[in-house]
Every structure is written in C-alpha cells, then in structure tokens.
Amino acid sequence: MDNASGPRIEPDNPEGVRWTFTRNYPAAVTSVAAVEPCDVSWRLAGERLRASNVPVSRSGLDGQSVPFDDDSFDAALSTWTLCSIPDVAAALSEMRRVLKSGGTLQFLEHGLAPDEGVRRWQRRLDPVQQRIAGGCHLTRPIVDLLEAAGFTVKNVDVFYEAGTTKVSGAASLGIASSP
Ligand SMILES: C[S@@+](CC[C@H](N)C(=O)[O-])C[C@H]1O[C@@H](n2cnc3c(N)ncnc32)[C@H](O)[C@@H]1O
C-alpha cells in the first residue's frame, strides 16, 4: 500500500474475509469510507474495524453508485471485490469519478488466469461459481477492465495464490492511477 494521503474509498468491507491490507493504514491516511452492501459482512468485521488505526465508516451500500462528490478521494482500495460486483464497469467508473486526478486505485483481485489451460476450466466452472459464491465471477480480466474504465495500470503482478486452486486463485496485485 502506498502512502497516499487524505481520505480513501474502499468499494466494500475493508476488513473482509481475507483482510490483506487493512488495519494498519499508512500514517498519511486520515479516514476510510467503506462501501459494503452486506449487513452480515459488516457485522462480522466489527472487531477489526474497531482495531483499525484510522476511522472506517460504512459510507455507501453499492459500489456501482456511491454517494460521494466528484474528485473527493486521494486513493481507493479494492481487494477481491471486482469479481463480485454485478456491473463492474459501473463500479470502476464510480471510482474514477470520485478519485482526484492522479489518485490511485490499489487492487488485489482474482480473475482470468494467464494460462489458456486454466482459462478453459474457469469458463466451464464460472456459471457454477456465480451460483454458489454470491455472484463471484472467475473470468473477469482485471487489467483490461481497469484500462477500459480509463485507469492507467502503473504496475501489476499476476500470480497464482498459494492455498487455493489456479481456477479461483489467479491474482492481480497492483496500482492503477486515475488520469
Ligand atoms: C469475495 S468478497 C471480498 C471481501 C473483502 N474485500 C476481502 O478482501 O476479503 C466480495 C465482496 O464484494 C462485495 N460486493 C458485492 N456486490 C457489491 C457491490 N455492488 N458494491 C460493493 N461491494 C459489493 C460483497 O459484499 C463481498 O463483501
């Protein structure tokens, strides 16, 4: 996570199941506006939210339409969220809208694998995954989606997450900036 200053938006529960980045935000982060549609997830995150070193408020219920002014955030963070938001293009467009020019979106997402053999299985299993995993897609091309939304992907590391299948663990970790 970089040291972007000021307020930050996260398009879902920032203390979620895997909870990779958060709790100890960099000193420059002053507050976090979380967008989380699921009451249960928000309740489960309670203890971690209270332990966070910056105030985290549930400020929106749908990443596809967020109640924030244009150009109001310095940074955004998304972890394993772009797989599940139904209209991912709308959510990315909202992030672009509320980020200041030059603001960054830091992401850790799973999606379309780099290898064709894995992609074949992802395409086969995608409909099942969507049904059993709350609308989660296996085949979203994360970098392409970011670029289509107008972000510039500054760096990205694509790898298979340890401890899960290649089908569900094709991860993209990186930083994109808003023009
Ligand atoms: C796989 S979970 C990831 C949770 C968490 N970010 C983490 O890192 O563990 C996918 C999340 O996407 C959220 N989600 C689904 N639709 C959404 C929407 N329209 N706007 C914002 N978040 C959404 C779900 O509530 C769920 O918490």
Going along the chain from its start, the domains and CATH numbers come out as 6-110+140-177 (3.40.50.150)
Q: Which residues line ligand 1 (CB under 6 A)?
A: 11-13, 16-19, 35-38, 41, 62-64, 79-81, 84-85
Residue 36 CA to ligand 1 center (angstroms) comes to 7
Ligand 1 atom closest to 63 (CA): 20
Query: Which tokens sit at 27?
Result: 């000193």
Q: 116-150 pLDDT, tens per residue?
A: 999 999 999 999 999 999 999 999 999 999 999 99
The pLDDT score that the predictor gives to residue 8 is: 64
Flag whether the pTM goes above 0.75. yes
Nearest to 70 by CA among 12, 9, 14, 151: 9
- Indicate the top mutation candidate among 9, 13, 130 to test ligand 1's pocket, ranked by most ligand atoms within 8 A of CB: 13
- Model confidence at 16: pLDDT above 80: no
- Model confidence at 55: pLDDT above 50: yes
Ligand 1 atom closest to 35 (CA): 21
Instruction: Collapse the DSSP code of 178 into the 3-class scheme (helix H, G, I; strand E, B; otherwise coil) and give the result.
Output: coil
Do residues 37 and 113 lie in contact, with contact meaning Cβ atoms separated by under 8 Å?
Answer: no
Do residues 70 and 48 lie in contact, with contact meaning Cβ atoms separated by under 8 Å?
Answer: no
The per-residue pLDDT of the chain, averaged, comes to 89
The pLDDT score that the predictor gives to residue 6 is: 56
Q: State which amino acid sits at residue 82.
A: L
- Model confidence at 166: pLDDT above 70: yes
